[in-house]
Chains A and B, each alone.
Chain A
Amino acid sequence: MIHKEAQSSEPILHDSLQSEELLVNMGPQHPSTHGVLRLVVRTDGEMVRETVPYIGYLHRCFEKITESVTYAQGVPYTDRLDYLASMNNALAFCLGVEKLGGFAVPERAAWLRVIVAELNRIASHLISFGTYALDLGAFTPFLYGFREREAILSIFEKLSGGRLLYHYPRIGGVRADLTPEVAGDIRRFLVQMRKAWPEYNELLSENAIFVKRTANVGVISGARAIAYGLTGPCLRGSGVRFDLRKNKPYSAYERFDFSVPVGAGIKGAVGDCWDRYWVRMVEIMESCKIVEQALDGLPKGEIRGKTPRVLKLPKGQVYVPCENPRGELGFYIISDGKTEPLRCKARGPSFCNLSITSEVCRDVLIADVVAILGSIDIVLGEVDR
């Protein structure tokens, strides 16, 4: 109701009412900025006229540090970029180093990497599901999302020893092999996840209030999304069917049968907040499919290839993109023949996805800013690096 008024071209305020523009500072400590993002919002009554994001409050000097330490020592730092998807980050970095160094990865290790990367994708989307509902005022989905996520974390704990930051993919392979116990855990988790998924939809996806808050809000067209360099669910939510796992397969992804969901405007326009949210929800089920196939067909063999103890990569540069839960995470690694890289630039998906905020958060309601920001699903660790 309110929203319809906001979108129509008629002025909301009568001539007799005078309003003053107000600058509102949102963040860096704000419950719905997902970390230390700061937005300066110019408001006119309930309407937002301009949004300027300020980032850098979590700039942890990732690129300088990776230039200063060896390749193997750089892997744990990649874990801490997008701390909700450590497996995927470390995987991208390792793939980059392996490509430049020409190291072969055993088949089994590649499949194990797929399993953990997809499980981590599910975990990350579960957090996104929970916190998005939290942003919009529903607390229960948060508890549901974390319930399933804890099951994944205990699997990862058995595999790698860590709950949040794993350091599991290593250059040339993975850290530890999959034991029958963990495999059983993963299968049990898949059953649990598939049972819980319809619950989630009943709870949130079809919830009338949630749909009102998200459908037709923050619409990003496909062309706009591409121009701003959006990737991942934000790009696919706008109807562009592009997934690096499908379009540029890496690490044995070409072996698996899965589909790439795109936004179809089920509840509103194509590319609105609900579409982006829904792409993530469908991706959870697609990832379950991949994990199941990988468990069924897991090849036997070594889990670590032969890499020298002291890594000295040949001169050259390489850019390796990977599909992170948030989009394209790429590492641009330049080696000049030393034990540490000359330059290691991380192309973070959240960084690029966030850059569209000032474009989308214009002439929307204040409450919509929170809905849009939550649907873009940023992780500040990787925005600021």
Chain B
Amino acid sequence: MDKSDNNPPQTAEQMLRAAVQDPRDLTRYLTYLNTIKSEGLSTSVMVVPLDAAINWARASSIWPLTFGLACCAIEMMAVGASRFDLDRFGAGAFRPTPRQADLMIVAGTVTYKMMPRVKRLYEQMPEPKFVMAMGACTVGGGPYCKFGYHVVKGIDRFIPVDVYVPGCPPRPEALIDALLALQRKIATGRPIIERYAKPAGGGKDGGAQ
């Protein structure tokens, strides 16, 4: 690990520059770390692009909101329980209050009566926040779409959704897959660069995270 000689010969400085250019690529700065270690520069100092560090921290400790609406909530509970164990992905700490949560899994049918509350909960969550629409009902009304006079036909009309998980209800594996997708999405964010360094031309690809 230390003496990785199959890498292209680069000085430590070159590597750092390369790593800063693209904070999405964690491997680059890991290589850099290895190099400075092998060169005996320091073993206690880590130099990491801030974006990458933040993304890594965000993606590995997503705290979902304890928020079940209907049938899908039972599958969400099952994902958190013994067999599937969402904690393996760092997302097992279900918070009872939106103020401590990063992720809202909208699990179940949203009705007209419930919709303002869902929106309120979303607004109470601190930034950065992510939403997962779990189940056919939340995605688009599901089986209640046609005759459901009291069912919201898709929660994405009211709050922004990051990941859609179709199914009635989705399998736990689908929810885990959605979580991994969300982690990938978080890893592509550039929170610091977007906030402080105005890119030339003003073009931005990311959302509001």
Q: Which of A57, A84, A127 contacts B111 (CB 8 A)?
A: A57
For the complex, is B143 an interface residue (Cβ under 8 Å from A)? Answer: yes
Residues of B8-23 contacting chain A, CB below 8 A: none
Chain A residues with Cβ below 8 Å from B150 are 59-61
Chain A count of residues within 8 A CB distance of the other chain: 37
Chain A residues with Cβ below 8 Å from B67 are 29
Q: What is the CA–CA distance of A58 and B150 in the complex, to the nearest angstrom? A: 9
Q: What is the CA–CA distance of A199 and B32 in the complex, to the nearest angstrom? A: 53
For the complex, is B25 an interface residue (Cβ under 8 Å from A)? Answer: no
Interface segment among A110-118, A141-149, A177-185: the answer is A141-149
Residues of A26-42 contacting chain B, CB below 8 A: 28-31, 35-36
Contact B108 A58 (CB under 8 A): yes
The residues of A with any CB-CB pair to B shorter than 8 Å are 28-31, 35-36, 56-61, 64-65, 68-69, 76-77, 80, 83-84, 127, 130-131, 142-144, 146-147, 149-150, 153, 163-165, 380-381
Chain B residues with Cβ below 8 Å from A29 are 65-67, 98, 117, 121
> Given A142-B81, A381-B70, are A57 and B113 also a contact pair (CB < 8 Å)?
yes
Q: Which of B70, B78, B147 contacts A146 (CB 8 A)?
A: B78
Q: Which of B75, B81, B114 contacts A164 (CB 8 A)?
A: B75
Q: Mark B140-164, 1 if CB is under 8 A from A, else 0.
A: 0001101111110000000000000
Q: What is the CA–CA distance of A58 and B75 in the complex, to the nearest angstrom? A: 17
Q: What is the CA–CA distance of A142 and B74 in the complex, to the nearest angstrom? A: 12
Contact B113 A56 (CB under 8 A): yes
Contact A147 B82 (CB under 8 A): yes
Contact B96 A61 (CB under 8 A): no
For the complex, is B71 an interface residue (Cβ under 8 Å from A)? Answer: yes
Contact B117 A28 (CB under 8 A): yes
Chain B residues with Cβ below 8 Å from A76 are 143
8 residue pairs from A and B, CB less than 8 Å apart: A29-B117, A30-B96, A57-B111, A58-B69, A59-B113, A64-B147, A144-B82, A147-B83
- Name the distance in Å between B103's Cβ and chain A's nearest Cβ: 14
Contact A163 B75 (CB under 8 A): yes
The chain B residue sitting closest to A86, CB to CB, is B71
Chain A residues with Cβ below 8 Å from B66 are 29, 31
The residues of B with any CB-CB pair to A shorter than 8 Å are 65-71, 73-75, 77-78, 81-83, 96, 98, 108-109, 111, 113-114, 117, 121, 143-144, 146-151, 168-169, 171-172
The chain A residue sitting closest to B94, CB to CB, is A31
- Name the distance in Å between B144's Cβ and chain A's nearest Cβ: 5
- Name the distance in Å between B151's Cβ and chain A's nearest Cβ: 6
- Name the distance in Å between B39's Cβ and chain A's nearest Cβ: 48
Q: Which of A36, A68, A381 contacts B71 (CB 8 A)?
A: A381
Q: What is the CA–CA distance of A127 and B98 in the complex, to the nearest angstrom? A: 25
- Name the distance in Å between B68's Cβ and chain A's nearest Cβ: 6
Chain A residues with Cβ below 8 Å from B144 are 60-61, 65
Q: Which of B111, B149, B172 contacts A58 (CB 8 A)?
A: B111
Chain B residues with Cβ below 8 Å from A56 are 111, 113
Contact A150 B71 (CB under 8 A): no
Contact A165 B117 (CB under 8 A): no
Task: Apart from A77-B143, A144-B82, list 4 A-B contacts with CB within 8 A.
Answer: A29-B66, A58-B69, A164-B74, A381-B70
Chain A residues with Cβ below 8 Å from B73 are 35
Chain B residues with Cβ below 8 Å from A80 are 70-71, 143
Contact A61 B169 (CB under 8 A): no
- 5 closest cross-chain pairs (CB), A and B: A146-B81, A83-B71, A65-B147, A57-B114, A147-B82
The chain B residue sitting closest to A57, CB to CB, is B114
The chain B residue sitting closest to A65, CB to CB, is B147
Q: What is the CA–CA distance of A28 and B14 in the complex, to the nearest angstrom? A: 55
Q: Which of A30, A77, A146 contacts B77 (CB 8 A)?
A: A146
- Name the distance in Å between B182's Cβ and chain A's nearest Cβ: 21
The chain B residue sitting closest to A81, CB to CB, is B71
Which of A29, A57, A164, A165: most chain B Cβ within 10 A? A29
Chain B residues with Cβ below 8 Å from A69 are 147
- Name the distance in Å between B73's Cβ and chain A's nearest Cβ: 7
Q: What is the CA–CA distance of A131 and B70 in the complex, to the nearest angstrom? A: 15
Contact A380 B168 (CB under 8 A): no
Q: What is the CA–CA distance of A75 and B98 in the complex, to the nearest angstrom? A: 36
Chain A residues with Cβ below 8 Å from B146 are 65, 68
Contact A380 B70 (CB under 8 A): yes
Contact A35 B69 (CB under 8 A): yes
